Amino acid sequence: MSSTVVAGKDVLDKPLKLLFPVWVVISLLIVLFPVYLVFMVSVAPGSALFGERPALFVEDPTLRFWNDILQRGDLWGPLFKSLAVASFTTLLAIVIAAPAAYVISRLPVGLRYGVVIGLLVTRMFPEFTIGVSVATRFARLGLIDTYGGLVLAHLIGSLPFIAWILVGTFETIPRDLEEAAQIDGASKMGTLLRVVFPLAAGGIAVASLFVWLYSWNEFLYARLLTTNQNTLPLQVFQAIDRGSRQQMATVAAVLTLPILLVVYFLQRYLKPGALAGAVKG
């Protein structure tokens, strides 16, 4: 053994060095190829898609399917519903969770940690266990197919999540600042509004993007609470169920585009804990 080991070098060194770039390129392809596929198929003419060996590149791209969904109008309803629901969910989530997160962040350490873990655990509950009851009640209250009903449902998943992120944000704001403001005569509420929240603006912005994304992608509650006014993810499912491959790919591309942009900006905030239960199949 010792003959092959000279100052930290060993038999694995050479093959690793040679294979490393190949492996990096392969893994990039594994990530990128599926995304490429959606956009490629959305501009593929029908003839390119069949046979046991569908073409990997489109030689004569067509915008027919993009024109179709943009003009036929059955995209606009779902697009608007998804936009509106995601935006209202985000807004309400901040209004409800930010003040609570501030108070939680000022609790004694042990208690604070318990509350935070409790928030995380509520996110691990299966949506169906909550959803079966919520959907039956909402049906009785006439909240099926309404924006409000879906916003209420999306808040179930968003609130613990945003509160959890914001507790972390508020923890980083020193209490001395609050005390200084209060010595200068500010009320508790005034201190919060003029000192604490402005300092937390960055964290609040990041947290809202996560919530917006969650609501934009959300499928399960949307499916339980919708009979005919689809959201965009439901529209994708409908296209999978009964559309052509290109229709499916086009709607899927519309749903994906804004997200790729947002994730690009969010990447440095992606920490493992933040994602616990946030993304799932």
Q: Of 59-67, 92-100, 142-150, 197-205, which segment contacts other proteins by CB under 8 A?
A: 92-100
What are the structure tokens assigned to 67, written together? 């024109």
Task: Choose which of 3, 47, 52, 73 interacts with other proteins (CB under 8 A).
Answer: 52
Interacting positions 101-120 with other proteins (CB under 8 A): 101-104, 106-109, 113, 117, 119-120
Interacting positions 236-255 with other proteins (CB under 8 A): 236-237, 239-240, 245, 248-249, 252, 255
Contact between 89 and 217 under an 8 Å Cβ cutoff? The reply is no
Contact string (CB under 8 A) for other proteins, positions 187-226, x = contact:
-xx-----------------------x--xx-xx--xx--
Q: Of 24-32, 70-78, 194-202, 204-212, which segment contacts other proteins by CB under 8 A?
A: 24-32
What are the structure tokens assigned to 268, written together? 């440095």
In DSSP notation, 166-185 reads HHHHHHTS-HHHHHHHHHTT
For 120-123, the CB contacts below 8 A with 24+ separation are 120/160, 120/164, 120/276, 120/277, 122/160, 123/157, 123/160, 123/161, 123/276, 123/277, 123/278
Q: How far is the CB of 251 from other proteins (least distance, A)?
A: 9
Distance CA 186, CA 194 (A): 9
| 6 bridge partner residues | 9
Using rule CB under 8 A, residue 15 touches other proteins: no
For residue 75, the SS3 value is coil
Q: How far is the CB of 169 from other proteins (least distance, A)?
A: 15
DSSP H helices in the chain:
13-42, 64-72, 76-105, 109-124, 127-140, 147-171, 175-183, 188-191, 197-199, 201-217, 220-224, 232-242, 245-266
Instruction: Give the residue with the Cβ less far from other proteins, 53 or 60.
Output: 53
Using rule CB under 8 A, residue 83 touches other proteins: no
Question: Measured in whole angstroms, how far is the alpha carbon of residue 19 from the centre of its chain?
Answer: 34
Q: Of 60-68, 71-79, 98-106, 198-206, which segment contacts other proteins by CB under 8 A?
A: 98-106
Interacting positions 134-173 with other proteins (CB under 8 A): 134-137, 152-153, 155-156, 159-160, 163
Using rule CB under 8 A, residue 96 touches other proteins: yes
Using rule CB under 8 A, residue 3 touches other proteins: no
How many residues bind other proteins (CB under 8 A)? The answer is: 105
Using rule CB under 8 A, residue 8 touches other proteins: yes
Q: How far is the CB of 162 from other proteins (least distance, A)?
A: 10
Task: Choose which of 141, 193, 201, 263 interacts with other proteins (CB under 8 A).
Answer: 263
Cα 75 to Cα 129, 193, 237, 242: the distances in Å are: 31, 40, 13, 15
Q: How far is the CB of 63 from other proteins (least distance, A)?
A: 19
Task: Choose which of 58, 84, 144, 276 interacts with other proteins (CB under 8 A).
Answer: 276
Spatial neighbors of 207 by CB under 8 A, at least 6 apart, are 94, 161, 162, 165, 166, 169
